[in-house]
């Protein structure tokens, strides 16, 4: 039986797919007349259109970001140290990630991801950014992430970004609840660049920034800059501004290249299943994490 | 040496980077990444599941006793891109598994590659490092319209 969440995704996807604008400019121009080894010239970027299925241009690991956010991996190098506030550092130290310089064994982590919690935003950009389907019409841009089959909507209909207030965001006169994927508003700053602001994400005990346990809070503001360089190339830049956790804004993803994929591609699901996770922990994670002769129990 | 199931070889020190496994769900802390083992065994189960696929197989040790091994790969979404599938193994398949062993000496490991009965080799790390230029789809998914 379909859950309400899945029904919502199906309805949203169907609505956007059927929209006359969805994928309107994704079809590649004809390339007939080329020799076998001759590469077709890349077509220019269409105006105000980032729709399509996009994949990391430099391989899957680039999007998975297994060492932490792409532009600032958590590798101990001085140039990658984040500007933590005291509270940010304390929060980071309370996290027990499976990857990074402070990684723990698989049986001892506390990453919400492995309890099958939603990744949330901006972690959806900063971890496991794989085949990403973007659909748009005149009112909104929908981003469909592969991990967890999660989606979010970026409004491009001219509305204002909600104001951050205690306990959530202010939409008109109404205080609205925090969301895993926040509240997003986008504006075209030129023909090929969509700048998106997002606020209203979950508090620090619900979400992490990346797989290495970097923290975020409900004071977070994120700027995404989607720049379509040409027909086949999209660059994504993500800036983190969280005064509770960091003393200044910093760039987590810098012109991250994504390449347009065959529009017929059927994206494979990547999910977190509590039952499969439990089986994995029992069969593999717990016994490999134990000293010889001892098996920890989560 | 037993023709069907035999522990073939032994611990091989590998050059760093030559066969370093790739980990996207968890790190390398429980594995001895300075070593690889090559084991011949008989498949008992193949779990095509998240967060990691698990290959279970029995290996006869030097004393003639069966040792049950469990070795992981990446998740299905990564493995399919490296040419793996839910149908890659069935119980009873005789395979040769090259893996990075657990530090604690238990029969667990992270798979680098598997030699199948038909002589084909499945590389567990291939998918994550492949770029779009060398394969049609970089996400493990396939251009597919289903049946028309």
What does the alpha-carbon distance between residue A235 and residue A192 come to, in Å, rounded to a whole number? 10
Percent of chain A with pLDDT over 70: 84
> CB of A44 within 8 A of CB of A25?
no
CATH at residue B53? 2.40.50
With b for 16 or more beta-carbon neighbours within 10 A and e for fewer, the A21-41 pattern comes to ebbebbeeeeeeeeeeeeeee
Q: Indicate yes or no: CB of A98 within 8 angstroms of CB of B26.
A: yes
What band does B129 get if pLDDT is binned at 50, 70 and 90?
low
Q: Indicate yes or no: CB of A128 within 8 angstroms of CB of B24.
A: yes
Q: Residue B26: its pLDDT value, please?
A: 65
Query: Per the structure, how many domains does chain B have?
Result: 1
Per-residue pLDDT tens digits for B80-123:
888 999 999 999 999 999 999 999 999 999 999 999 999 999 99
The domain of B87 spans 12-131
Q: Indicate yes or no: CB of B49 within 8 angstroms of CB of A292.
A: no
Residue B143 falls inside a structural domain: no
CATH number, domain A4-21+47-261+272-289? 2.40.128.20
Q: Residue A293: its pLDDT value, please?
A: 56
Most A CBs within 10 A among B85, B137, B143, B148, hence the mutation to make, goes to B137
DSSP E strands in chain A: the ranges are 52-56, 132-136, 140-144, 151-155, 163-165, 168-171, 174-176, 183-190, 193-199, 221-230, 233-241, 250-260, 265-266
- Stronger pLDDT, A252 or A59, i.e. the higher one: A252
The pLDDT of residue A231 is above 70: yes
What band does A7 get if pLDDT is binned at 50, 70 and 90?
very low
Average pLDDT, chain A: 87
Give the phi and the psi of residue A131 in degrees, each rounded to 5: -70, 110
Residue B36 falls inside a structural domain: yes
ipTM for the whole complex: 0.77
Q: Which of A7-11, A159-163, A245-249, B75-79 shows the lowest mean pLDDT across its residues?
A: A7-11
Per-residue pLDDT tens digits for B20-57:
444 556 666 789 999 999 999 999 999 999 999 999 99
Using a 10 angstrom Cβ sphere, with 0-12 exposed, 13-18 middle and 19 or more buried, the burial of residue B116 is middle
The pLDDT of residue B6 is above 50: no
Give me the count of residues in chain A: 298
DSSP A215: B
The pLDDT of residue A1 is above 70: no
Domain chopping of chain A, boundaries: 4-21+47-261+272-289
DSSP B22: -
Q: Name the maximum alpha-carbon separation found in chain B.
A: 57
Nearest to A252 by CA among A205, A192, A296, A211: A211
Pairing of strands B54-60, B108-115: unpaired
Per-residue pLDDT tens digits for A262-289:
999 889 889 899 999 999 989 998 898 8
Per-residue pLDDT tens digits for A187-203:
999 999 999 999 999 99
Smallest Cβ distance to B137: which of A100, A262, A277?
Answer: A262
Q: Write out chain B residues lying below 8 Å of A233, CB-based.
A: none
Residue B142 falls inside a structural domain: no
Residue B144 falls inside a structural domain: no
> CB of B93 within 8 A of CB of B14?
no
The pLDDT of residue A83 is above 50: yes
Q: Residue A34: its pLDDT value, please?
A: 52
Q: Write out chain A residues lying below 8 Å of B21, CB-based.
A: none
What does the alpha-carbon distance between residue A5 and residue A3 come to, in Å, rounded to a whole number? 5
């Amino acid at each position: 039986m379909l859950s309400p969440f899945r029904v919502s995704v199906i309805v949203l996807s169907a609505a956007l797919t059927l929209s006359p604008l969805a994928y309107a400019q994704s079809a590649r121009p004809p390339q007939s007349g080329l020799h076998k080894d001759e590469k077709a010239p890349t077509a220019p970027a269409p105006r105000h259109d980032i729709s399509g299925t996009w994949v990391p241009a430099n391989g899957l690991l680039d999007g998975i970001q297994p060492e932490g956010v792409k532009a600032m991996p958590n590798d101990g190098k001085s140039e990658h140290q984040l500007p933590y506030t005291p509270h940010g550092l304390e929060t980071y130290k309370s996290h027990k990630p499976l990857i990074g310089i402070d990684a723990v064994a698989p049986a001892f982590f506390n990453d919400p991801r492995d309890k099958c919690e939603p990744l949330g935003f901006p972690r959806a950009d900063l971890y496991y950014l794989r085949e990403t389907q973007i659909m748009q019409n005149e009112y909104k841009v929908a981003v469909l992430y592969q991990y967890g089959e999660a989606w979010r909507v970026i409004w491009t209909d001219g509305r204002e970004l909600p104001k951050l207030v205690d306990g959530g965001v202010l939409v008109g006169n109404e205080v609205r609840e925090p969301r895993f994927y926040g509240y997003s508003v986008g504006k075209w700053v030129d023909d090929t660049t969509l700048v998106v602001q997002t606020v209203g994400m979950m508090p620090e005990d619900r979400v992490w920034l990346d797989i290495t346990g970097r923290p975020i809070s409900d004071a977070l503001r994120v700027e995404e800059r989607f720049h379509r360089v040409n027909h086949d190339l999209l660059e994504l830049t993500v800036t983190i501004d969280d005064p509770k956790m960091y003393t200044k804004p910093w760039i987590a993803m810098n012109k991250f290249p994504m390449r347009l994929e065959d529009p017929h591609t059927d994206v494979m699901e990547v999910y977190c299943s509590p039952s499969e996770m439990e089986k994995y922990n029992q069969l593999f994670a717990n016994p490999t994490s134990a000293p010889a002769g001892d098996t920890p129990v989560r | 040496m037993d023709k069907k199931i035999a522990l073939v070889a032994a611990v091989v020190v590998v050059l760093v980077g030559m066969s370093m496994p790739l980990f996207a769900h968890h790190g390398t802390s429980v594995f001895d990444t300075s070593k690889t083992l090559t084991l011949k065994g008989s498949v008992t189960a193949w779990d095509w599941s998240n967060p990691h696929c698990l290959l279970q197989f029995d290996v006869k040790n030097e004393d003639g006793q069966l040792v049950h091994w469990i070795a992981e790969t990446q998740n299905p979404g990564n493995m399919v891109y490296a040419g793996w599938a839910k149908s890659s193994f069935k119980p009873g398949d005789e395979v040769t598994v090259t893996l990075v062993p657990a530090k604690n000496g238990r029969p667990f490991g992270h798979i680098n590659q598997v030699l199948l009965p038909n002589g084909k080799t499945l590389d567990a790390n291939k998918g994550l490092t492949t770029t779009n230029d060398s394969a049609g789809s970089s996400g493990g998914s396939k251009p597919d319209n289903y049946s028309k």
